[in-house]
Amino acid sequence: MGTANELPLLEQALSDDRLLAGWERVRANAGGPGVDGVTVEQFGGKVLRALAGLRQRVTASHYQALPLRRIEITRPGKAPRVLAVPCVADRVVQSAVALTISPRLDPGFEDFSFGYRPGRSVPRAVQHLAEARDSGLVWVAEADIQSCFDRIPWAALLQRLGEVLPDAGLLALIQHWLSLPLQWPDGHQQVRCMGVPQGSPLSPLLSNVFLDGMDKELAAGPWRVIRYADDFVIAAASREEARRGLAQAARWLRRLGLRLNLDKTRVIHFDQGFSFLGVRFRGRQMSAVQPGAEPWVLPRATQPRPHSPSSKPAQHSRSPAPTARASAPATPPSAQPEPLGPAAPSPNAAASAQPSQPRAADATLQDLQRLSVAPPNEPSPPRLRTLYLTEPGAYLHIDGERLLVGKAGEELANIPAEKVDQVVADAEGAVSFGALRLLLRHDATLLLTPGASDDPAGLLTPINGRQVQLRAAQFARLSDGPFRLALAKRIVQAKISNARTVLRRYRRFRPEGDRGEDQALQRLHAQCAQAPTLEAVRGYEGRAARLHFEALATLIDPRWGFDSRNRQPPQDPVNALLSYGYTVLFHNVHTFILRRGLDPFVGALHAPRDGHAALASDLMEPYRSLIVDATVVRFLTQDDLSPESFDPDHPGRMPLEVKRRFIQALERKLASPVGRDGSQEEPADWRRLIERDVNAWAAAVTGSPDRYQPWLAR
């Protein structure tokens, strides 16, 4: 409830801050124009004047929203999706209203409602269902409301809003928006008498307000409900109770003029298997319907754990990296978060990694149960969730707040933008301006990797967050010789120490290959501590790297043809894997640097030069061997991988399927636990360790140089 001094809700929505926030949301969506033809860019060119005019018209009761633009989106193998899109100005006011009333409405929703709510997610809904199963509720009624959003009755919706929103002017404005006609491309208009328009920024919230009535109807039953938007399941201890819960939901819907889609509604036992929210359940196991979508749909504790060094790399990964591809062979497709996926997708499963708002049409309860292990504590959210675009000819574009990847009319991936922190484009394709703006809106980066023809790499990154004082401190340190020397020594000594650890770990399996490299590296480590200049430190680093790769070659089967490090371009499969792995690691470090507001071109060990992100190179050095080299050695031990998997005419080029599998291995590594170094608080995974180092570097350049201490493996 509001306080006596609180402004009316409509006045709050029309404040400068709230209207600007609404505009930012609309700009981030980068959607198309409404019936007036005004684009987001055109509106932005006069945004301050336009916002002032909107406020004046609404306040003076002269505001008249325009009809909704009908847009039909074709979907291969499915009925077209029809959007009803308000014009940009109307979307701004609606977004401001949504931002204003959501904090009032959300606390009153039932806890088992997970869609379109802050702090809620598909993994939490999945965990909720898994907990129900583990408590003995093993019968599930899975349900889909037929044409739910298009058939929500306005009277019932407005009555519910009136009970919780004490502002008649605001309610009148919402009723005005609900009643807008739909305008077809030829200009003729269709009167609407029900439903919330799919395309309005206010509609997700309004749908939750309406369906909360059903939630409250079901809340007291001897079952457990999990609802995400218009898809819901009822978990019960018996078939009869599940049927009773389903019947009770159907009666509530029928009273309000809606009905269940009988083709997508049934009662089933967990052991029989089903899918819900993009997750397959069978018995006590869960897996993502779309290979690689685990971070978006599964509770983190249920995601497959990395295997021990002695086991084959699995095709599951805990990390959040989808890859986009077009076809779906038996190996994990690359149009979904590829670095994470189950081994045997169905042919249609390759098309969409749809983690945040999956449809019940493609997801039944059996599939969700297969990976359910409820953790005792809330797991840490994944860091730098990465979408890899590896399919040649793929097109990255958007639908509202979702990133879509398509090719030749097929949808390969469908992912909420809020679930993607970086995109790595490995193949020739296309990216829409809307996708670029949406990535920037969510502080995500886009990396174009060098192509086979040595095309230049590129990085798209948001310009916000750059801290002038922090960067000024970095540049001041360029002339601080003792500072740069001290930190460069730490970097190189950590690199040597960690390389020795990796070699010793794998040397246990091939002790006969030891040619004294470990002792030589130990001497270089000690000599580096006494280096008088940066040039001397760089010299020790170069000699240590050569020794490391010579020793690494003795751990790799000779049939791979690896005897030394070469690059630009790599000449053999091992060097191709190493080069790609270092590129992925470099980009992860680079992204964390940009997010922290540091200048990536100003480091300590690597000399500053145009076009080279010296700081990213510095901060990745200690972990090259631990993350990339170790992953490559394990990757080469797979039974179904051999030199014949590479093109004999171009052994230094990774075939597409090999690259996709290697991405999986890298992502599993980056998301795996780091281990212990016996010192400070242990980071949960390698990406968090890198982020910790970046933050420590910022502290170092601003006056606390001892804060930067690279992690040392034991």
Binding-site entries for Mn(2+)? 541, 606, 621
Q: Which of 398, 473, 471 is nearest to 438 (CA)?
A: 398
Q: Which of 289, 275, 283 is nearest to 364 (CA)?
A: 275
CA distance 145 to 211: 10
Q: How far apart are the first and last CA of the chain?
A: 56
CA distance 581 to 579: 5
CA distance 371 to 115: 21
Residue 419 near residue 384 (C-beta atoms within 8 A)? no
Residue 483 near residue 489 (C-beta atoms within 8 A)? no
Q: Please list the alpha-helical segments (H only) found in 555-655.
A: 573-596, 614-620, 630-635
Cβ neighbours of residue 59 under 8 Å, at least 6 residues apart?
A: 14
Q: Which amino acid is at 571?
A: Q
Task: Using CA atoms of 572, 578, 436, 84 in order, give the dihedral in degrees to the nearest 10.
Answer: 90
Residue 94 near residue 62 (C-beta atoms within 8 A)? no
Burial annotation 163-175 (CB, 10 A radius, 16+ → b, else e): eebebeebbebbe
C-alpha distances (whole Å) from 469 to each of 466, 483, 596, 697 are 9, 18, 12, 14
C-alpha distances (whole Å) from 637 to each of 260, 310, 641, 650, 666 are 51, 9, 7, 21, 15
Collect contacts of 450-456 with beta carbons under 8 A, ≥24 apart.
452/569, 452/653, 454/568, 454/569
Q: Which segments are annotated as binding site?
A: 541, 606, 621
CA distance 535 to 523: 18
CA distance 688 to 697: 14
Q: Going along 374-509, which residue ranges are E strands?
A: 386-389, 395-399, 402-407, 410-416, 422-425, 430-431, 445-448, 458-460
Residue 266 near residue 141 (C-beta atoms within 8 A)? yes
**179 φ, ψ (degrees, to nearest 5):** -90, 5
Helix axes 517-529, 481-507, angle to 10 degrees: 160
CA 486 to chain CA centroid, Å, is: 37
Q: DSSP states of 544-556 as a string?
A: HHHHHHHHHHHTS
Residue written as token pair 């014949």: 644
Question: What tokens appear for 364 in the block?
Answer: 């039944």
Q: Which of 154, 144, 137, 164 is nearest to 192 (CA)?
A: 154
| Count of positions (residues) in the chain | 714
What three-state secondary structure class fits 115?
Answer: coil
Eight-class DSSP state of 646: S
Cβ neighbours of residue 676 under 8 Å, at least 6 residues apart?
A: 682, 714
What three-state secondary structure class fits 578?
Answer: helix
